[in-house]
Amino acid sequence: MSETIGAGGSRKLQIWRGDLTGGELVDYELETEPGMVVLDAVLEIQRSQAPDLAVRWNCKAAKCGSCSAEINGKPQLMCKTRLDHLPADEPITVEPMRAFPLICDLVTDVSWNYEVNKLIPPFTPRDDLPEGDFLIDQMETDRMSEFRKCIECFMCQDVCHILRDHRLHNRYYGPRFMVRLASLDMHPLDGLDRMDMIADDAGIGLCNITKCCTEVCPEGIHITDNAIIPLKERVVDRRHDPLLKILRRNKDPRGRKPVRSKPPPSPDDIPGAPSSPGVPPAS
């Protein structure tokens, strides 16, 4: 088992430097202090050794999702990853997320995610709701509250093999937006039927529930078990259960209005986005 460093000391970091034209891992060494996280080390290197190092960060409190990166080959928040939790006998590699187009160094263009978000119709109250405040059971609130914890770090998107390896951005919305669709479909007061959108436009059938998205979520959201699998079950019930198809005639049992969107765009189709993924080499 690799030793870990509990106090300060000299550490070596290998940080990806480059842009769409190419790049490489560059070695840096610095003196660390107890309690430092990877973001502390990267910002110190930016301050003292590489002032042109591009890195995105904001709150430094694991709540904004801005400092997502691949640390030792695993998507993690730099501000939440302590140096003393990483092996002390090998360099710490810090690379940009690979599912999105590279801009420069550790910064990637995640605008594709916001374009996908625009395709999902927001919460729309049912037509039969009475005037006044919306009231729902506590059980319903508890079920949906988990999904509201998402900080949109997009690490679940990055680790998803459908986007990361197969690059099917134009056929699959990704785990983050399966979570959003689940929060809407499970809302008892929402008046839209998104099942066709989930099955066809969002491409939920492409997910083979490896649970890699759940493993990297910094908020501990059970993306696969509580969002994706229930949505898959609802699609199967609607489309393939013969009895339910007859009884419901392929309609939502709650009388919701059917809506459709369209398949997500390719990153190449987004104005201002780099024209290619710019995936860095493996660690």
The residue out of 108, 132, 154 marking a domain boundary is 108
Q: Are strands 9-19 and 92-95 parallel, antiparallel or unpaired?
A: parallel
Q: Which pLDDT score is estimated for 9? A: 87
- Report the range of poorest mean pLDDT among 53-57, 146-150, 175-179, 245-249: 245-249
Q: Is the pLDDT of residue 106 over 80?
A: yes
Query: From CA 10, how far away is CA 50, in angstroms rounded?
Result: 17
The CATH number for 40's domain is 3.10.20.30
- Encode pLDDT of 212-258 as tens digits: 999 999 999 999 999 999 999 999 988 887 777 666 665 666 667 88
Same domain? For 77 and 142 the reply is: no
Q: Which pLDDT score is estimated for 143? A: 82
Same domain? For 152 and 250 the reply is: yes
- Report the range of poorest mean pLDDT among 7-11, 72-76, 202-206: 7-11
For the segment 121-147, the average pLDDT, to the nearest whole number, is 85
Residues 6+ apart with CB under 8 A from 133: none
**Tokens 């003393």 sit on residue:** 84
SS3 string, the chain, reads CCCECCCCEEEEEEEEEEECCEEEEEEEEEEECCCCEHHHHHHHHHHHCCCCCCCCCCCCCCCCCCCEEEECCEEEEHHHCEHHHCECCCCEEEECCCCCCEEECCEECCHHHHHHHHCCCCCCECCCCCCCCCCCCHHHHHHHHHHHHCCCCCHHHHHCHHHHCCCCCCCCCCHHHHHHHHHHHCCCCECEECHHHHHHHCCHHHCCCCCHHHHHCCCCCCHHHHHHHHHHHHHHHHHHCHHHHHHHCCCCCCCCEECCCCCCCCHHHCCCCCCCCCCCCCC
Q: Which pLDDT score is estimated for 130? A: 80
Q: Which domain holds residue 57?
A: 9-108
The CATH number for 153's domain is 1.10.1060.10
Residues 6+ apart with CB under 8 A from 7: 34, 84
Q: Which pLDDT score is estimated for 136? A: 83
Same domain? For 156 and 252 the reply is: yes
In a domain, 273, yes or no: no
Q: Which pLDDT score is estimated for 40? A: 97
Same domain? For 99 and 148 the reply is: no
Whether 174 and 157 have beta carbons less than 8 Å apart is answered as yes
- Encode pLDDT of 110-132 as tens digits: 999 999 999 999 999 888 888 77
Query: What is the total count of domains within the chain?
Result: 2
Region of residue 3 (phi > 0: left; psi between -120 and 50: alpha; otherwise: beta): beta
pTM of the prediction? 0.87
In a domain, 2, yes or no: no
pLDDT band at residue 141 using 50, 70 and 90 as cut-offs = confident
